[in-house]
């Protein structure tokens, strides 16, 4: 029995995460869930965004399935997600980008992964006002973090039998920071001569991803570029509702849908839970439950292939719970 910290989150998280959890429970009885809260839900209940109980649960269990979280404006952390990544040193953000038959998307048979460095760059939040009319933000890039994330990308390519790693940067302009990231990537690549390595300037990468996304298998990027490119790539396969994510460190991993809490549709039972479901299958694979993950992915694939069996955002009429029920029905039949 594996104990997993479960954070439903805010907004639509309260719908899509319970749907994902119910689907996982329909496939395996090897998980014991420990439910805790964070974000607006926690703030309304106990006056803090990240309760000590939640932090202790993550410290103890080390594996988390988490919903989208709202950070209230004007109080607490800049971002709870960033706080969790930095607190638990979750240095690798992993964003698979994959098409599903039956979903309208710009491309077919697309299957790539974006690996984003998660702990530094401009997201360190080191900024200050110079004067009333100017502000300055400091970009931090270190060799240690750069080598670590590129090595992670190569190891992922090996594990998933992918043949190429593409590093993206802006070293033609930021010669010291991005130059360091690029050099660290080149140094690490020499340990993996059996995997092709290339580098692409980030603005060209954005264009190439739109024009020829099948040319790429694993893309590794600093924090800011990885954030932007992963959302761009999600747009190629149907949007953020189809995009799962993971934040992984040496001892802790948090799996979560990449979209926000969508308070405008919260409580209406119309949110698409696909991103949450796929984040759950990523978690299952991480803890060694490969068979359970594959069963869920196959069920999701079969349901999405059927015309009309989609949530509203995908052109269908199913509610969140009806979509979840169709997946469970396929699993149990």
Phi/psi of residue 64, nearest 5 degrees: -135, 135
pLDDT < 50 stretches in the chain? none
Does some domain include residue 100? Answer: no
Domain boundary, last residue among 209, 236, 263: 236
Question: What pLDDT shows up at residue 124?
Answer: 87
Query: Are residue 110 and residue 232 in the same domain, yes or no?
Result: yes
> How far apart (Å, rounded) are the C-alpha atoms in residues 231 and 211?
16
Question: Does 227 qualify as catalytic in the annotation?
Answer: yes
* Spatial separation of the C-alpha atoms in residues 19 and 277, rounded to whole Å: 8
Tell me if residue 123 is catalytic: yes
The residue count for the chain? 333
Which of the residues 21, 66, 98, 170 is marked catalytic? 170
Q: What is the pLDDT of residue 36?
A: 97
Q: Is residue 302 part of a domain?
A: yes
**Sheet strands side by side (includes 111-117):** 31-35, 2-7, 63-66, 253-257, 244-248, 92-98, 111-117, 218-221, 164-169, 196-201
Question: Taking the CB of residue 211, how many other CB atoms lie within 10 A of it?
Answer: 8
> What's the confidence (pLDDT) of residue 74?
56
pLDDT of residue 162: 98
Q: Tell me how crowded residue 76 is: count the other CB atoms within 10 A of its CB.
A: 16
On whether residue 2 sits in a domain, the answer given is yes
Residue 99 placed within a domain: no
C-alpha 144/C-alpha 302 separation (Å) is: 43
Asked if residue 168 and residue 116 are part of one domain, the reply reads yes
What does the pLDDT read at residue 125?
A: 83
What span, in angstroms and rounded, lies between the C-alpha atoms of 81 and 64?
A: 13
The CATH number given to whatever domain includes residue 84 is 3.40.718.10
Strand-pair partners of 311 = 318
Q: Clarify whether 203 is annotated catalytic.
A: yes
Residues 6+ positions from 52 with CB-CB distance below 8 Å: none
| 215/333 same-domain check | no
pLDDT confidence of residue 242? 94
Looking at the fold, whether 134 and 227 belong to one and the same domain comes out as: yes
Selecting among 227, 285, 324, 330, the annotated active-site residue is: 227
- Whole-angstrom distance, CA of residue 256 vs CA of residue 67: 6
Where a domain ends, among 236, 269, 292?
236
Is 192 an annotated catalytic residue? no
pLDDT tens across 105-116, in order?
889 999 999 999
pTM of the model: 0.93
Range(s) of the domain holding residue 64 = 1-94+243-333
pLDDT of res. 314 = 86
- pLDDT tens digits, one per residue of 180-228: 999 999 999 999 999 999 999 999 999 999 999 999 999 999 999 999 9
Per-residue pLDDT, 67: 97
Is there a domain that residue 128 lies in? yes
Residue of 123, 216, 225, 330 marked active site: 123
Together in a domain, 200 and 287: no
Among 219, 236, 253, residue at a domain's last position? 236
Query: Number of folded domains in the chain?
Result: 2
Q: What pLDDT score does 288 carry?
A: 95
């Amino acid at each position: 029995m594996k104990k997993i910290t479960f954070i439903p989150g805010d907004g639509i998280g309260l719908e899509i995460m319970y749907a994902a959890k119910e689907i996982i429970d329909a496939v395996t009885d090897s998980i014991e869930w420990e439910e805790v809260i964070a974000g607006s839900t926690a703030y309304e209940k106990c006056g803090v965004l990240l309760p000590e109980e939640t932090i202790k649960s993550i410290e103890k269990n080390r594996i988390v399935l988490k919903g989208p979280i709202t950070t209230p404006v004007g109080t607490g952390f800049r971002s709870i997600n960033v706080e969790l990544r930095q607190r638990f040193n979750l240095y690798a953000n992993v964003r698979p980008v994959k098409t599903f038959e039956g979903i309208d998307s710009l491309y077919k048979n697309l299957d790539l992964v974006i690996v984003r460095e998660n702990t530094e760059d401009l997201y360190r939040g080191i900024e200050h006002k110079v004067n009333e009319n100017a502000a300055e933000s400091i970009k931090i890039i270190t060799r240690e973090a750069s080598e670590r994330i590129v090595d992670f990308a190569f190891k992922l390519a090996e594990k998933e039998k992918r043949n190429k790693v593409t590093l993206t940067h802006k070293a033609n302009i930021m010669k010291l920071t991005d130059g360091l990231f690029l050099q660290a990537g080149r140094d690490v690549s020499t340990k993996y001569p059996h995997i092709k390595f290339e580098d692409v300037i980030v603005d060209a990468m954005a264009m190439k991803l739109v024009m020829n996304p099948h040319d790429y298998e694993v893309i590794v990027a600093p924090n800011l570029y990885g954030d932007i490119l992963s959302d761009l790539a999600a747009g190629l396969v149907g949007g953020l509702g189809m995009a799962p994510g993971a934040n992984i460190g040496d001892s802790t991993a948090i799996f979560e849908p990449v979209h926000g809490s969508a308070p405008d549709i919260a409580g209406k039972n119309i949110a698409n839970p696909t991103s949450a479901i796929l984040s759950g299958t990523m978690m299952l694979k991480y803890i060694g439950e490969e068979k359970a993950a594959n069963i869920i992915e196959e069920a999701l694939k079969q349901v999405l292939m059927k015309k009309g069996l989609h949530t509203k955002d995908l052109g269908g009429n199913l509610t969140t719970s009806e979509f979840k029920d169709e997946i469970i029905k396929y699993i149990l039949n």
